[in-house]
Amino acid sequence: MGEKSKKGGWCGWIIVLIVAAAAAGAIVVLVMKKHKDSSSDAASGASEKKYGDALKIAMQFFDVQKSGKLVNNKIPWRGDSAIKDGSQEKLDLSQGMYDAGDHMKFNFPMAYTATVLSWAILEYGDQMKGVGQLEPAQDSLKWITDYLINCHPKDNVLYIQVGDANADHKCWDRPEDITEARPLIQINASTPGTEVAAETAAAMAAASLVFKSKNSGYSSNLLKHAKQLFTFADRYRGTYSENIPEVATYYNSTGYGDELLWAASWLYHATGDQTYFDYATGKNADSFGNFGNPTWFSWDNKLAGTQVLLSRVSFFNSKVSNSDTLQEYRKTAEAVMCGLLPKSPTATSSRTDSGLIWITQWNALQHPVASAFLAVVYSDYMLTSKTGKMTCDGNEYTPSDLRKFAMSQANYVLGDNPAKMSYLVGYGDKYPQYVHHRGASIPTDADTNCKEGWKYLDSTEPNPNVATGALVGGPFLNETYIDSRNNSIQGEPTTYNSAVIVGLLSGLVSTSSVVQSFT
């Protein structure tokens, strides 16, 4: 299950207090070029190799989470599962990916996963290719987008969930052994869900750019669905978790304005159509932009991501870079960056003593990793555009400062922390052994069903299967971690965590400039 999140700003960057934690103790495409960073650590081959090695591991969790009939299965303890998903509506919804340690397909965070993975490929595909991970990333992305296409059988109909979360969480079984009912939830014109439709539009628009040169027909199909879904999202506005209350327990939305701006921004990049740019910078920006107020980038809030993405236009497209609203996006993006830099006058105090950004106890690592991904992307925008500095309340900072911050968060995840433990499963000598993940916890030869598998949740033995690449929830504010299978707050990985860690590690594999246009 996913964490419960709020879309509000960081309100002066105030830390959430937690009792449990305390108790627990541009049309031209440029060739990628090497650009030396002033940080010796960033430029070191050893550091780059570390991130490349970690990227190879992180990418594997997408294979762990795949649903459906597995093709070229690389995970020995996984097999075909959920083959009949969608059959009651004569749809093939067998693909996609399981959300976390459970067997639910929650499309809101899954579409975000696809959007972020697409973004990472678009910015850092050459780096991925250099360590042999570009094709696996594209394959994992397509596994999701194939599913999302099938979830959109009509212009104004989108299936947004497969499985009954309450029933699913009463079982502890392998995905290959699912016996519980797999009902479907849809949004439509009478029961709208703007944020899910818009996020799915963003995912398909971004993915259409990924596949544009690789598979032009597929790319065109994705873009067609993206346009239809954006129109649906905008025309029939409504918060999905208000219109469908049963989804609110796991992925409650706190507003859809950010997804509309995010989707319009991706559609502008995918099409070059001025209409989408005007949408993102017009009255909708006035309504939903929340300019001047930094927010955290997550499955529930896309504002910071939108601000950075549209900053790309400001940096590289001189024809529109003088837009007043575009400059507001960039100023707010810089406010986000200033809050992340530890020595900035406006630095957030929401971090651990060791410097990890820390916002919430549930899935604590999502926010620092997502923030670091945005920081490395913004740093590379500055480098490529030869923008030598930015100002935070009168103090100047360089792209190297942003990169150092991003590296600090990545290094913490990979073991440079008080626990001296990697939170990326399979990386390093010490990492969680009791990950809250059903498939990993049950032996492949066990004969279990929904009820009989609970003994494996309570077992004192480490997981028999390693969920390689899983980024677990992470430490409490006091930087402790309880490696227990029952500790889902800290020990449950999510697929969208994988998207942001893959993006971050890809950006750190080597220091280089980025392409000035995705088209």
Looking at per-residue pLDDT, the higher value among 234 and 13 belongs to 234
Question: Is the pLDDT at 26 greater than 60, yes or no?
Answer: no
Q: Cβ atoms within 10 A of the Cβ of 80, count?
A: 15
Side chain identity, residue 466: V
Are 152 and 229 in contact by the 8 Å Cβ rule? The answer is yes
Point out the catalytic residue in the list 152, 225, 436, 437: 436
Give me the percent of the chain exceeding a pLDDT of 90: 86
Give the global pTM. Answer: 0.92
Question: Is the pLDDT at 428 greater than 50, yes or no?
Answer: yes
Mean pLDDT of the chain: 91
Angle between helix 45-58 and helix 399-413 axes, rounded to 10 deg? 50
Taking Cα atoms as reference points, which of 303, 327, 325, 301 lies closest to residue 314?
327
290-304 pLDDT, tens digit per residue, is 999 999 999 999 999
**pLDDT on residue 47:** 78
**pLDDT on residue 503:** 98
Res. 46 pLDDT band, cuts 50 70 90: confident
**pLDDT on residue 448:** 85
**pLDDT on residue 44:** 57
Res. 317 pLDDT band, cuts 50 70 90: confident
Q: How far is CA 14 from CA 21, 243, 490, in A?
A: 16, 31, 21
**pLDDT on residue 32:** 34
Res. 322 pLDDT band, cuts 50 70 90: confident
**pLDDT on residue 15:** 34
Question: Is the pLDDT at 23 greater than 70, yes or no?
Answer: no
What is the DSSP code string of 246-261? Answer: GGHHHH--S-SHHHHH
Are 123 and 514 in contact by the 8 Å Cβ rule? The answer is yes
Question: Is the pLDDT at 36 greater than 90, yes or no?
Answer: no
Average pLDDT over residues 158-178: 95
**pLDDT on residue 34:** 36
Active site residue 169: no
Q: Where are the alpha helices (DSSP H) in 164-302?
A: 165-168, 194-210, 216-235, 240-243, 248-251, 257-271, 274-281, 283-288
Tokens of 106: 């929650």
Give me the sign of the Cα torsion angle 200, 364, 430, 434: negative
Question: Is the pLDDT at 132 greater than 90, yes or no?
Answer: yes
240-278 pLDDT, tens digit per residue, is 999 999 999 999 999 999 999 999 999 999 999 999 999
Res. 109 pLDDT band, cuts 50 70 90: very high
Question: Is the pLDDT at 61 greater than 90, yes or no?
Answer: yes
Question: Is the pLDDT at 446 greater than 60, yes or no?
Answer: yes
Res. 318 pLDDT band, cuts 50 70 90: confident
Please identify which residue in the block is written with the tokens 């859809």. Answer: 256
Average pLDDT over residues 184-198: 98
384-418 pLDDT, tens digit per residue, is 999 999 999 999 999 999 999 999 999 999 999 99
Q: Which domains does the chain have, with CATH numbers?
A: 19-409+487-508 (1.50.10.10)
Question: Is the pLDDT at 238 greater than 70, yes or no?
Answer: yes
The rounded distance, in Å, linking the Cα atoms of 507 and 519 is 20
Taking Cα atoms as reference points, which of 295, 209, 224 lies closest to residue 257?
295
**pLDDT on residue 246:** 92
